[in-house]
Chain A
Amino acid sequence: MMWFDLALGLGLIIAAIGVFRSEDLFRAVVLFVTFGILLALTWLRLQAPDLALAEAAIGAGITGVLLLDTLGVFRQHEQDINPRSSSQLPDISRQWAANVLALIACISAAGLLAWSLFNTLKMPAPHHNLVTVVEANIAYSGVSHGITAVLLNFRSYDTLLEVAVLLVAIVIGIGLRERVTTSANATSDEGQSKLSEPPALLTSLVRLLLPLLLITAIFVLWAGSTRPGGAFQAGALIAAAGVLARLGQIDIAARVTTILRLGLTLGVFIFLIVAVSPMLTGKPFLTYPAGWEGTLILLIEFMLTISIGLILLSLFIQAPRPRIPAPVRNAIPATGPNAETNKGGDQ
């Protein structure tokens, strides 16, 4: 084992403790993103470049953007309503009970895990081993990259349900968002509010980055069949491009239209059609016809990339935002540290 691993592992733990201990939420989120980047490095050390890519793009990237945007909305909200009297009186007895509970839970979990890991060290490796099974069957999967073979062929059912999970999240997001728009009066500018004029530098930077991100996304998608990459990482890149475009005032997907719905469901829809069609010839659900595996996997991945990108982007854009009266709106970008966190928000 190398010193690097020791340091990286300790770094992860320290970053995590920093997240838990920091009083300021903004600081906690920044530390959390740092944690994500360290974790991406860790995945590289564990010979899992796919996970490194996914962690950087999704775990640290998209999650970080969503969190920062939320903090921005909270600060905006605090300014909208009169500065909240710090009514958050800590309930002492409750907090004390939670601390005791946490202590018990931590000690038992730590004891259990330590006992389990210590015993693993003493034990022979299990006789079952999926590594050899994957290797023996990968030739029939239509792709040569192990993880893609597992995700889109051997265990494609998991992936189907996983995309359904994403879809449920955005359905709830849209459901909660639209309600405000319909219940609010015509004066409400929610959902249609334009971003404040972005700096010229930002706009030109976005114009430059946007095609670059899209090309990278397509490459990552294409790479997935032979080496690290695939629909989820590519989808995250598409979403990142969308977030950038939004910052550069290129307005997309702000309204829920039939076209957007089509885009959101496209991935699952095509996946389901490809999965069901072999049943017409008497083959099991989710079987690829022989010889067509590679092509169909690429087709599904392409559609999934579009849907995942749109879903992740919509989770950002459709998230509930406060209604902002005009004068306050102009005042916000000037307020010190908030400016950073507010970037992602509708201002």
Chain B
Amino acid sequence: MTLWLEAFNTDFWYAIVGAVLLVLALGAFITSRQLIKKLLAFNIMGSGVFLIMVGLAQYQHGPDSVPQALVLTGIVVAVAATALALVLIRKFVLKGGQP
């Protein structure tokens, strides 16, 4: 326990938050039936991964621009994925599918 408290810092805390978000979003992704809800879960899961990526690396060796740059790329890829999914879902719904 003392080990935990000693080593704990802001970066590590957010890595844990990221892990929790990842796990919760995974559950929501699998259980939700609505496509939009799945998409929201995917986005939050992604944010969880990003928090782990930056939090863990910075816990190990302080502010690091490499994981930050990777996450910036990740955010853009995520918005592209969201937009693509929305285009497909919208088209699907307009063709009579269930959202």
- Residues of A near any B CB (own CB < 8 A): 1-2, 5-6, 9, 12-13, 16-17, 19-20, 25, 28-29, 32, 35, 39, 42-43, 45-48, 50-51, 54-55, 58-59, 62-63, 66-67, 70-71, 73-74, 77, 88, 90, 95, 98-99, 101-103, 105-106, 109-110, 113-114, 117, 120-122, 125-126, 129-131, 134, 146-147, 149-151, 155, 158-159, 162, 165-166, 168-169, 172-173, 176-177, 230, 232, 308, 312, 315-316, 318-322
How many whole Å from A312's CB to the nearest CB in chain B? 7
- Residues of B near any A CB (own CB < 8 A): 3-4, 7-17, 19-28, 30-34, 36-37, 39-41, 43-44, 47, 50-52, 54-56, 58-66, 68-73, 75-84, 86-91, 93-94, 98-99
10 nearest CB pairs, A to B: A146-B65, A150-B69, A20-B28, A102-B30, A9-B17, A315-B83, A113-B19, A106-B27, A169-B80, A102-B27
B13 in contact with A25 (CB, 8 Å) = no
B43 in contact with A63 (CB, 8 Å) = yes
Residues of A within 8 A of B65 (CB): 131, 134, 146-147, 149-150
Residue of A nearest to B16 (CB): A117
How many whole Å from A82's CB to the nearest CB in chain B? 13
Residue of A nearest to B73 (CB): A162
- Contact pick for B43, options A32, A50, A150, CB 8 Å: A32
Residues of B within 8 A of A308 (CB): 76
A209 CA to B30 CA, complexed, in Å = 41
Q: A67-B36, A98-B30 are in contact. List 14 more A-B contacts (CB 8 A).
A: A6-B13, A9-B14, A19-B44, A62-B79, A67-B40, A77-B93, A88-B33, A99-B31, A109-B23, A125-B61, A131-B62, A134-B65, A134-B66, A176-B88
- Contact pick for A1, options B13, B44, B79, B82, CB 8 Å: B13
Residues of A within 8 A of B40 (CB): 19-20, 28-29, 32, 67
B24 in contact with A16 (CB, 8 Å) = yes
Residues of A within 8 A of B37 (CB): 20, 25, 28
Residues of A within 8 A of B15 (CB): 117
Residues of A within 8 A of B3 (CB): 121-122
Residue of A nearest to B54 (CB): A46
Residues of B within 8 A of A321 (CB): 90, 94
Given that A20-B37, A105-B30 are contacting pairs, would A70 and B86 also be in contact in the complex, using a CB cutoff of 8 Å? Answer: yes
- Contact pick for B24, options A5, A20, A322, CB 8 Å: A20
Residues of A within 8 A of B50 (CB): 51
- Contact pick for B17, options A12, A66, A172, A320, CB 8 Å: A12
A193 CA to B79 CA, complexed, in Å = 26
A48 in contact with B54 (CB, 8 Å) = yes
B34 in contact with A25 (CB, 8 Å) = yes
Chain B binding surface, main DSSP class: helix
Given that A66-B83, A105-B30 are contacting pairs, would A151 and B72 also be in contact in the complex, using a CB cutoff of 8 Å? Answer: yes
A63 in contact with B79 (CB, 8 Å) = yes
Given that A16-B25, A77-B93, A106-B26 are contacting pairs, would A117 and B86 also be in contact in the complex, using a CB cutoff of 8 Å? Answer: no
How many whole Å from A112's CB to the nearest CB in chain B? 9
B26 in contact with A131 (CB, 8 Å) = no
A161 CA to B81 CA, complexed, in Å = 14
Given that A6-B13, A102-B31, A109-B22 are contacting pairs, would A173 and B87 also be in contact in the complex, using a CB cutoff of 8 Å? Answer: yes
Residue of B nearest to A19 (CB): B40
- Contact pick for B10, options A1, A59, A106, CB 8 Å: A1
A105 in contact with B25 (CB, 8 Å) = no
Residues of A within 8 A of B61 (CB): 125-126, 129, 131
Given that A25-B36, A59-B79, A131-B62 are contacting pairs, would A1 and B8 also be in contact in the complex, using a CB cutoff of 8 Å? Answer: yes
How many whole Å from B31's CB to the nearest CB in chain A? 5
Residues of A within 8 A of B44 (CB): 16, 19, 32, 35
How many whole Å from B35's CB to the nearest CB in chain A? 10
A320 in contact with B19 (CB, 8 Å) = no
A103 CA to B25 CA, complexed, in Å = 12
A48 in contact with B13 (CB, 8 Å) = no
Residues of A within 8 A of B82 (CB): 63, 66-67
Residues of B within 8 A of A1 (CB): 8-10, 13
